Amino acid sequence: MAVKWIAKRTPDAVRETWDAFRQRIGGDLKASIVLMDPDEGPLGAAQELLSRAASGAIQIIARRAIDDDIVTIPANEIPYLSLTFDGPPAFAARFEKGANGGSGTVVYRDMRVPSSDLKRVWPRLANPSLTKESPNAPAQEGTPHSHQQSPEVSSGAYMFLGQAVEWIICRGQPADSSHVAARLEAAERELFGFLDTENVTVEGYPINGRARVYESLPAGIWANMNRRYDSGLMFSSIDDTEEREDGGTVHVGDLQWNGVRLATSVVLKRWPPADAPTEQPKSIGRRPRYDWEAFDKVALAKLDEEGAFDPSVDTQWNKATFERYMATWCQNNWGNEPGESTIRSRLSEIEAAYLEGRKGQ
């Protein structure tokens, strides 16, 4: 699928396979790139893929044949290996020693290229290089173009993980494809972090030869899906089974799920459209700085409890004590206190009202 992307680089054209080439060299047998004619598009694409991998511009992840470990192939080994594609349905690629049509010793198999690497080094093109009407047409030059997701992406019940990653970047707005490619890895990290912390249900169907039966993916994988491919965890938006480049393929060691998706409503709630109106808080007016009504009630209650100021009855109960009491109440209930003169003036009015009320008793 990576070679097909390099050769075509458009959502429609990437779905084209090289069935005509495979039939010519033996159908479901293996197809080594050394058997391709020079004018066949996949040959140049495969050679370019290997050249970029040898230079260190991209990573190739594979299962090492000698011990079955999943590793990143060292760039300095690439020039000494021959690339071969096994039969359908996934065209699982493998590396063999030598360049003699794939008759050497298998060194690596089940090779994968991170989709973020592919789209960074080979951005999507505006013009398809191959079409269904001309499946063997030579590759055409194209230029990176403005990228915009279909409105149907946000209206369906589910989004593939690849669609969700692009949604995080674009939020329903057009964006230059080079910008999308540059943001892919960061958007993937953001999505994986969200799936982990929010324990979101993500489902896909295992690649086991049976019908497509969806099941939930293990929730614990997202915390470790951190682009460290040697761990055996890997996500790719290039989905062979769904035949799309914004789908969802997840590898967890020997396990693989395709068509990996999550609910659209979950994505839109976390990352709403860029043009969605922001909800403004309702204006409820300015909150009073001090609740003087509560202040007055507490002060009157204290006067009722202690009585009027009378040194002959209680030398400790006086105006200064009353002011300190209410200042402390203000600090405890308001977090601050009005000025000393403000409290004194307010308490003088309360005391006068209190004494006036006692005259009728």
Give pLDDT tens digits for 225-273. 755 554 567 788 777 677 777 788 888 877 888 899 999 999 999 999 8
Cα 254 to Cα 296: distance, rounded to the nearest angstrom: 74
**Cα separation, 109 vs 93, whole angstroms:** 6
Strand partners, 71: 62
Among candidate residues 232, 4, 263, 243, the one with its CA nearest the CA of residue 158: 263
Task: State the Rg of the chain over Cα.
Answer: 35
Sign of CA dihedral 261, 267, 268, 272: negative
For residues 242 and 142, is the Cβ–Cβ distance under 8 A? no
DSSP 147: E
Position 21 scores a pLDDT of 44
Given this model, what pLDDT does residue 268 score?
Answer: 92
Report residue 8's pLDDT band, with 50, 70 and 90 as the boundaries.
low
CA distances from 136 to 3, 13, 231, 292 (A): 15, 12, 39, 85
pLDDT band of 89, cuts 50, 70, 90: very low
The residue ranking higher by pLDDT, 154 or 294, is 294
Is-contact 268 149, C-beta < 8 A? no
By the 10 Å C-beta count (0-12 exposed, 13-18 middle, 19+ buried), 262 is classed as buried
The angle at the Cα of 159, spanning 257 to 229, to the nearest 5 degrees, equals 40
Strand partners, 64: 108
Mean pLDDT, the chain, rounded, equals 72
Q: Are 101 and 134 a contacting pair, CB within 8 Å? A: no
Taking only the tens place, the pLDDT of each residue in 149-167 is 566 667 778 999 988 988 8
Mean pLDDT of 189-206: 89
DSSP code string of 214-242: -EEPPGGGGGG-SS-GGGSEEEES-BTTT
Asked whether 2 and 118 are in contact (CB, 8 A), the reply is yes
> Average pLDDT for residues 176-188, to the nearest whole number?
77
Q: What is the mean pLDDT of residues 70-92?
A: 67
Full-prediction pTM beyond 0.85? no
Q: What is the mean pLDDT of residues 141-156?
A: 56
**φ, ψ for residue 239, nearest 5 deg:** -115, 105
Q: What is the pLDDT at residue 222? A: 87
* Cis-peptide into 89, omega within 30 deg: yes
Question: Three-state SS for 319?
Answer: helix
pLDDT of residue 351: 87
Residues 6+ apart with CB under 8 A from 152: none
Contacts 24+ apart (CB under 8 A), 29-33: 29/87, 30/84, 30/85, 30/86, 30/87, 30/102, 31/84, 31/85, 32/82, 32/83, 32/84, 32/85, 32/101, 32/102, 33/82, 33/83, 33/84, 33/85
Q: Identify the residue whose tokens are 């043009």.
A: 275
Q: What is the pLDDT of residue 191?
A: 92
Map tokens 């990176």 to a residue: 144
Residue 172 has pLDDT above 90, yes or no: no
Q: In sequence order, which residues have a C-beta less than 8 Å from that of residue 265 and are 6 or more positions away?
A: none
Is 259:247 a contact under the CB 8 Å cutoff?
yes
- Lowest model confidence (mean pLDDT) among 105-119, 134-148, 250-264: 134-148
pLDDT at 88: 40
pLDDT digits (tens, 9 = 90+) for 31-60: 444 444 444 455 567 777 788 888 888 888
